[in-house]
Structure 1
Amino acid sequence: MRRVLVAGITGAGKTTMARRLAQATGLPFHQLDELAFLSGWRERPEYLADVVRLSESEAWIFDSWGDRRVRDRLWSCADTVVWLDFSFTLVTRRLLWRSLLRTTRREQIFNGNVETAREWFGRDHPLWSAWAEYRPRRAEMRRRLADPAHAHLHLIRLPSPKAADRWLKAVTPSA
């Protein structure tokens, strides 16, 4: 396990898991959204080049399977996919709570970006995104994992936060 994608629907806890996994293994962690966006949710011009460069490195953990422009590259370079395959109810509850806290506290997410009350009504808000993408994303995950082009991947499917915690406790540092 040297090149790891932590995948799942918005709100499953990908970034938290990826950080904890990086701490447990010593592998470098890269937050994909932080690479993608400047303040004001503007795309970083270096985003694609940075993902290509980092994906070519010897070891890494990304907290996403990536947007359409980088997804195939990350999947072809990864050796492991950690899939946080949590229930719709759990993800919805987590997202609602997380977004409420972030909005009311004006909590910075990364690069100075914050969630605002106005964003709650946009299609790009994490809650609406998760509701719209839950079934299609799970279907896409299954399709990708069944694709012979991804036969090289080691899949770790974690169906609950308890399963994720148990698995993470058993992870050892990378050599």
Structure 2
Amino acid sequence: MPMLGPADPLPHRPRRVLVAGTSGAGKSTLARHVADALAVPYVELDALYHGPDWTPRPDFEADVHRFSAQPGWVTEWQYGAVRGHLAERADLLIWLDLRRARVMRQVVRRTVTRRLRREVLWNGNIEPPLWTILTDPEHIVRWAWNSHHKLAIRIADLRRERPGLPVVRLRSRSEVTRWAQGPLRHAG
């Protein structure tokens, strides 16, 4: 199946949707919108993955298998331990292929805002002190920078493994809006 763009109609009404993108690209925001439009549950993977003190939850994979067995859902396409399983179950993948500069502006702004407001995230966690950007190789800002180029490779691999899976590629905020107001609205 060819890659779909922001104006291309969807081949069917999707029920199990993955949203792919670099950290900070807007996956969760778009996933919530898609779930609302399709009237299916949104499951936030970060909430399933992160336990207290940012430790991985031991039930993460079982929880993912449980929700993904349902007939309808929308979630993010992340976490290597479950990425393949979710891809096998999905009937649509939306790729937020935003430029690195755009993603970095978004992830830095979000991280700083969350930290300054001491916003409680998943299971009581808050963003670490901002200086840890310099010391923690897994810091979300560094992660977004270092992993940005890897998603295109994962998408190419997935398209070889599941050539019939529709993939919608959105390269800008305006394309996201155009797709949401066009093909997504008509699919729901």
Q: Please give the TM-score of this superposition, normalised by the length of structure 2.
A: 0.86
Q: 2:55 & 2:63 partners in 1: Cα distance? A: 16
Displacement of 1:174 in angstroms is: 6.6
2:5 corresponds to: none
- State the AA in 2 paired with 1:100: V
User: Which residues of 2 match residues 74-153 of structure 1 at below 5 A?
Assistant: 74-117=86-129, 118-120=131-133, 121-145=135-159, 147=160, 149-153=161-165
1:105-131 deviations in Å (ceiling 9; x for gaps):
111222211102154231121110011
Inter-CA distance 35–173: structure 2 relative to 1 (3 Å threshold): farther
Identify the structure with bigger relative contact order (alpha carbons < 8 Å, sequence gap 6+): 2
Name 2:24's counterpart in structure 1.
11
Whichever residue aligns with residue 125 of structure 1, its letter is H
Q: CA deviation at 1:54?
A: 1.1
| 1:69 CA displacement | 1.3
Kindly provide the amino acid, as one letter, of the partner of residue 143 in structure 1.
D
TM superposition shift of 1:134: 1.1
Unaligned runs of 5+ in 2: 1-13
The 8 Å contact of residues 25 and 173 in structure 1, kept in 2 or not, is answered as no
Residue 38 of structure 2 corresponds to residue 38 of structure 1 = no
Describe the SS at the equivalent of 1:4: strand
Give the share of equivalent positions with the same residue, in percent: 34
Q: C-alpha distance in 2, partners of 1:85/1:96?
A: 18
How far is 1:150 from its partner?
0.9
Q: Deviation of residue 173 (structure 1)?
A: 7.8
d(CA) in 2 for partners of 1:91, 1:164: 14
Contact 1:26 1:173 in 2 (8 A): no
Query: Structure 1 or 2: larger strand share?
Result: 1
Structure 1: stretches of 5+ with no match in the other structure: none
Size of the aligned set, in residue pairs, is: 172
Matched residue type, 1:113: N
Superposed CA RMSD in Å reads: 1.6
Structure 1 residue ranges (4+ consecutive) displaced by more than 3 angstroms after TM superposition: 172-175
Q: Which moved more, 1:32-41 or 1:134-143?
A: 134-143
Report the CA distance shift for 1:173/1:60 in structure 2 as closer, same or farther (over 3 A). Answer: farther
* Deviating more after overlay: 19-28 vs 9-18: 19-28
